[in-house]
Amino acid sequence: MSGGGWVRAYHLLPDFLGMLWAGAVMTVIVTAGGFVFAIVVGLLLAALRTGRSRLLHSLIYVYVEVFRAVPVLTQLFIIYFGLGAIGIRLNPIPSAVIGFGLNGGAYLTEVFRSGIESVNRGQTEAALSIGMTRTKALLYIVLPQAVRVVLPSIANFAIGLLKDTSLASAVAAPELSFNAHMLVDRTFLSTQIYLLVAVFYLAMSLPLSAVLHRLERGAARSRRA
């Protein structure tokens, strides 16, 4: 192996870091956007699912199953290229946020549903018996308890999402992976650049997984209590 590549990479390091830093910021933006979108979709659909409408149940079921069964890359391409071809042009970043939001929303619908189901029925009954409406009981009594149960799953989802945003590079969203490809195209230092990018991702995901471990320990403790 030629050491020249490493020497060249060392000299170009300031350029690399600048470009990758800008990409990392965009990665965080796409992750945060997709995360909020997914949480809103997931909470909304899980709440609607507790209703009695059969039609709504089936629609939500189809949405969840379809979006979970198809690769997120395909979904991104449908949103970015597919919609673009029929006249709905979205920029890469909004496409990515919508794609990850819808994909994650399907996943989180299931997560929140299992959380809601884990809350003892007596809680709802008690809330109804003191005169709360079904909606109020769900909002103030059931959901706060459900969210606590599913916090580890949500943290897990966030870590997965952070890494999945690398796929947004395929629709030319200028995030960390995309900027890395540009640098590789320019310098051909693929090993050095992708290793550096791996370090960037680790620096973002390891703190998140530390949070996850704390949440999991907390959840295990509250189960035992």
Partner 1 sequence: MISPQTLALIREWLPQLLVAAGQTLQMTVWAYALGAVMGLLIALGGMSRQRWLSGLCRVYIEFIRGTPTLIQLFLIYFGLTSVNIVIPGFQAAVIALGAHYAAYMAEVYRSGIVAVDSGQREAAQAIGMRRGQAMAYVIFPQAVRIILPPMTNFAISLLKDTSVASLIAAPELMMRANDITSEYYMPMQVYLLSGAMYFAMSYPLSLGVRYLERRFGRGRQLNLNLA
Binding residues vs partner 1 (CB under 8 A): 1-2, 5, 65-66, 68-75, 77-78, 81-86, 159, 163-167, 169-170, 177, 180, 184, 189-191, 194-195, 197-198, 201-202, 205-206, 209
Catalogue the long-range contacts made by 141-146 (C-beta closer than 8 Å, 24 or more residues apart).
Answer: 142/116, 143/43, 143/47, 143/116, 145/119, 146/112, 146/115, 146/116, 146/118, 146/119
Q: Which is nearer to partner 1, 99 or 143 (CB)?
A: 99
Q: Closest CB to partner 1 among 36 and 202?
A: 202
The nearer residue to partner 1, 132 or 201, going by C-beta atoms, is 201
Q: Compare residues 68 and 214 and give the one whose CB is closer to partner 1.
A: 68
Chain-centroid distance, C-alpha 143: 20
**Both ends of the chain: CA-CA distance in Å?**
57
In the complex with partner 1, the residue whose CB is nearer, 123 or 194, is: 194
Residue 80: CB minimum distance to partner 1, A: 8
The minimum distance between CB 181 and partner 1, in angstroms, equals: 8
DSSP summary character for residue 45: H
H-state helical runs in the chain: 4-49, 54-69, 72-77, 83-85, 92-118, 121-129, 134-136, 143-164, 176-187, 190-224
The answer to whether 76 and 91 have CB atoms below 8 angstroms apart is no
The minimum distance between CB 190 and partner 1, in angstroms, equals 4
Shortest Å, Cβ 134 to partner 1 = 28
Give the nearest distance from C-beta 203 to partner 1 in angstroms.
Answer: 9
